[in-house]
Each structure stands twice: as C-alpha cells, then as structure tokens.
A and B are shown apart, each in its own frame.
Chain A
Amino acid sequence: MITTVIIAADSSNPILPATGEIIWSVLSFLLLLLLLGKWAYPPVKKMMADRAAKIRNDIDAAELARAEAQRTLEEYREQLAQAKREATHILDEARQTGEALRADLLAKAEEDLAILRSRNEEALRIERQRVIAELRSEVGSLALELAEKIIDAEVDRAASQSLIDSFISEIGAMQA
C-alpha cells in the first residue's frame, strides 16, 4: 500500500539518472582517482612500506645483536675458563716452587747446623785437651809442691793431715 502511494504520487522516473549528477559524480570520482594516485596514496603506502622495512630491519638487527652478544658471552666464558686454568696452574707452580725452596732451605740449614756443631765439638775437644794438659801440669807441680811440704813437715802427723785436706780442697777449688 505504501509503495502504491509512493509510486502513484511520483511523476518523474526514480531510476533514470540526471545529466548533471552523472557529470559531477564522474568528475569527482576521476578527480579523486587522479589526486589519490598522484598525491595522496603514495605517501601513506610509502610510510607503511617504510615501517614494514624498518620493523624487518629492526628484527634482523636485533637478531644480529643477539647472536653477537651470544658470541661475546661464549668468548668471555672461554676466557674466564682459560684464566681460571692459568690461575690454578700458577698457584700449583708457586706451591711447588715454595715447597722446593722450603726443602732446600731446610736441607741447607741442617747442613749448616751440622757443620756448626762439628766445629763446636772440635773447638770444645781442643779446649778440653788444652785444659786437661794445663791441669796435668798444674797437678804435677802441685803434687811436687805437696811432696815438698810433706817432706818439710814429716814429723807433724796431724799437720800433714791438715795439709792433705787443704790440698784436696785446693784441687776442688781449681776444678770448680
């Protein structure tokens, strides 16, 4: 019913296009195509392509940097391990050297000690011999002296006794 009303009320044809409309629509569309293709579309498209390229480059660069970092890390690890090995080696060497040095020093000290000791013993032995010899001559002269005194005081028994005592104590004092 509505349609009937509309159609009945219409005098002109709603389907056939008007000339002016055709001209303006074609003109605006062609103008749009021309300006869009020459001037408006390329910057947008270029920007999108640039962005895609930039993202692709960034990803590539990041991948490269990651590989580089990985390689550096490996190098550092290798260097660290090398340094550790060297340090251990140096320590071992030092320890060995120290050990050898200590043994050497000890041996030398012992040797020196032995020399010193034998030298001392020799000196002591000589000194003792000298003392004994000296003592012998001293005792001999004393004995001679005593004998003289005994002969001198032959009669006095009691005096001899005291003489012997004093002789003995004299020797004791000399020995001390």
Chain B
Amino acid sequence: MLLAGINFPPISDVLNWKAIAFSGSPFALNKVGLITLVSAGITLLLFYLAGRQRQLVPSGVQNFVESMVDFINNSIVLDVMGPEGAPWAPYLTGLFFFILFSNLFEVIPFIQMPATARMSVPAPLAIMVWFTFITVGIRAQGIGHYFKNAVVPSGVPGPLLVILVPLEILSNFIVRPFALAVRLFGNLLAGHLLLLTFAVISEAMFVKSIGLVILPLPFAMLTALTGYEIFVSALQAFIFTILSALYIAEAMKSQH
C-alpha cells in the first residue's frame, strides 16, 4: 500500500496555529490574525499608492486599483443596488479586498493558509453584514414596516402566512448570515485541504523513489488546483460581496 507510507498531518496542525504574540490572553495573535491584518494593510497600501500616483492615464497599481473599484462599482453597486447604493461602495470595496487577500494567502508560498478557512473570519464578517442590512432596513423603512415587509409576503392568503412567515424569518434572518459564512468558509477550507492533500502526496512520491513514476500526476493536480484556488478566491470574495450588496439593497427599499 502506497498510502500507508504517507503521513498526513493532523488537521489541527494545518488549521489551528500557535500564538505569535499575546499568548494566553484573549488577544492571542496567530497566523490567521496576522493574515487578516496583512490583508487589510495590503488593501490600504494599494489604495494609498493608487491615490498618490494621480495620473491621468493610469498605469501599474493605480490601474489595478481603479479597474477593481470600477468593477465593484459597476458589477456590484450599480447592478445590484442602483445609483442610491453609491454610499455603500467603500464598504463593499473594503469587504471585497479584505476577503480576496485573506483568501489569496492560500496560494502564497510559505504562508499557504487562507484566513477565511477559519470560521473566525467569515462568521464575524457575515454577522457584520447581517447587522448592517437590518440596521439599514430599520433606518430606511422604520422598524415596524421593515420587519413586516421582510417576513410577510404580500398577496398571500391568510392561512398560508402561518407557513410562510416562519419560513421568511428563517430565510431572511437566520439562513442568510449562516449561508454567507459557511459558503466562504467551506469553499476555502476545502480548497486548503485539497492543496494540502496533493502537496503531501507529491512530497511522499518525491521522497519514495518507487513513486517517481507517478509523481507527475499528483504534482500536475497540485499545480492545476493552485490555479483553480486563485479563481475560487476571487469568486468567493465576489459572491460574498454581491450577496451583501443584495441584502443591503433589499433592506433599503420595501420589495413587497
């Protein structure tokens, strides 16, 4: 058995990281916390550099940042929220970049850990979005109107409401944040474990001379999956952001 010779690391070794600073306190800073800080830092640095260049014809960092801002503005803010969503553009841009860079650390050599593969990142983000859209709804429509519009579908006969109202409550206020968090977390955790698996197999093949014959297969898979994970990182950041925009937009206007 070839697999018998492969030592998969325990999952806690690749997900639970030791504290680098403030060990023992609630503020224990580990690899995941550091990645989130660095992701925020990279985003700010990119915007700082882009804002400092101020060229009429953008190039380099300015070009990248501006095209991303333009993409978020057109594909998320304007498409989903319309012109009245413009004040939300910085929030959504920050959300997108923060998730994107947290995800991309999955394929950065020697770091190879997506911060979003820990529930500690997607869950607070989802809760913040949940909090945001409820607050926006209450401020835009008033507390009574908002909750009535959100949970009571219009034009539905009375008896059906008995079934529909609990379903709406469940779908709008419980499933939404849960799905947001789990979708991001699950995708990135799965990607992380996939890359890990193929990296471990490739390494084992390389170490065991007998495995050299089939070494190219897991290694090719590892290479292909690395590319695929870059795509998934961007896609999941986009999905999280566009769904957040959708929830906020829905709360801004009564849809029923």
- The reply to whether B124 and A40 contact each other, CB–CB distance below 8 Å, is no
Asked, given contacts A9-B10, A32-B40, A35-B44, whether A20 binds B26 with beta carbons under 8 Å apart, the answer is yes
Number of residue pairs A-B, CB distance < 8 angstroms:
149
Q: Which residues of B contact A14 (CB under 8 A)?
A: 11-12, 15-16, 189
Q: Which of B8, B16, B26, B121 contacts A9 (CB 8 A)?
A: B8
- The reply to whether B90 and A20 contact each other, CB–CB distance below 8 Å, is no
What secondary structure prevails in chain A residues at the interface with B?
Answer: helix
Q: How far is the CA of A10 from the CA of B15 in the complex (A)?
A: 10
- The reply to whether B48 and A28 contact each other, CB–CB distance below 8 Å, is no
Asked, given contacts A5-B8, A25-B115, A28-B40, whether A36 binds B93 with beta carbons under 8 Å apart, the answer is yes
B7-21, CB under 8 A of A: which get 1 and which 0?
011111001100100
Q: Which of B27, B48, B197 contacts A40 (CB 8 A)?
A: B48
Answer yes or no: B37 CB below 8 A from chain A CBs.
yes
Closest B residue to A24 by beta carbon equals: B33
B136 CB to nearest A CB, Å: 15
Answer yes or no: A76 CB below 8 A from chain B CBs.
no
Answer yes or no: B112 CB below 8 A from chain A CBs.
no
- Range class of the B interface residue count: 35 or more
A11, A15, A42 interface centre (most CB from chain B within 10 Å): A15
Contact stretch, chosen from B49-57, B149-157, B164-172, B237-245: B49-57
Asked, given contacts A28-B37, A28-B39, A44-B65, whether A6 binds B120 with beta carbons under 8 Å apart, the answer is no
B92 CB to nearest A CB, Å: 10
Contact stretch, chosen from A46-54, A107-115, A134-142, A167-175: A46-54
B127 CB to nearest A CB, Å: 9
Q: How far is the CA of A89 from the CA of B170 in the complex (A)?
A: 94
Asked, given contacts A2-B8, A5-B8, whether A29 binds B118 with beta carbons under 8 Å apart, the answer is no
Asked, given contacts A35-B44, A37-B94, A41-B90, whether A21 binds B118 with beta carbons under 8 Å apart, the answer is yes
A1-41, CB under 8 A of B: which get 1 and which 0?
11001110111101111111111111111011101110011
Answer yes or no: B234 CB below 8 A from chain A CBs.
no
Q: Which of B8, B15, B33, B97 contacts A20 (CB 8 A)?
A: B33
Q: How far is the CA of A22 from the CA of B127 in the complex (A)?
A: 12
Closest A residue to B9 by beta carbon equals: A9
A64 CB to nearest B CB, Å: 21
Q: How far is the CA of A42 from the CA of B94 in the complex (A)?
A: 12
Closest B residue to A21 by beta carbon equals: B120
Answer yes or no: B125 CB below 8 A from chain A CBs.
yes
Asked, given contacts A10-B10, A44-B50, whether A20 binds B30 with beta carbons under 8 Å apart, the answer is yes
Answer yes or no: B128 CB below 8 A from chain A CBs.
yes
Question: How many chain A residues have a CB neighbour from B under 8 Å?
Answer: 41
- The reply to whether B119 and A15 contact each other, CB–CB distance below 8 Å, is yes
A3 CB to nearest B CB, Å: 9
Answer yes or no: B36 CB below 8 A from chain A CBs.
yes
Q: How far is the CA of A45 from the CA of B47 in the complex (A)?
A: 10
Answer yes or no: B98 CB below 8 A from chain A CBs.
yes
Answer yes or no: B70 CB below 8 A from chain A CBs.
yes
Answer yes or no: B210 CB below 8 A from chain A CBs.
no
- The reply to whether A24 and B36 contact each other, CB–CB distance below 8 Å, is yes
Q: How far is the CA of A24 from the CA of B9 in the complex (A)?
A: 26
Q: Which residues of A contact B90 (CB under 8 A)?
A: 33, 36-37, 41-42, 45
* 4 closest residue pairs by CB, A with B: A24-B33, A17-B120, A21-B120, A20-B28
Q: Which residues of B does A touch, CB under 8 Å?
A: 3, 8-12, 15-16, 19, 22, 25-30, 32-34, 36-37, 39-40, 43-44, 47-48, 50-52, 54, 56, 65-66, 69-70, 89-91, 93-94, 97-98, 115, 118-121, 123-125, 128, 185, 189, 193, 197
**Cross-chain pairs A/B with CB under 8 angstroms, 22 sampled:** A5-B8, A11-B12, A15-B119, A17-B119, A20-B28, A21-B32, A21-B36, A24-B27, A24-B36, A25-B36, A28-B33, A29-B125, A29-B128, A32-B40, A32-B44, A35-B44, A36-B90, A37-B91, A40-B48, A40-B51, A44-B47, A48-B69
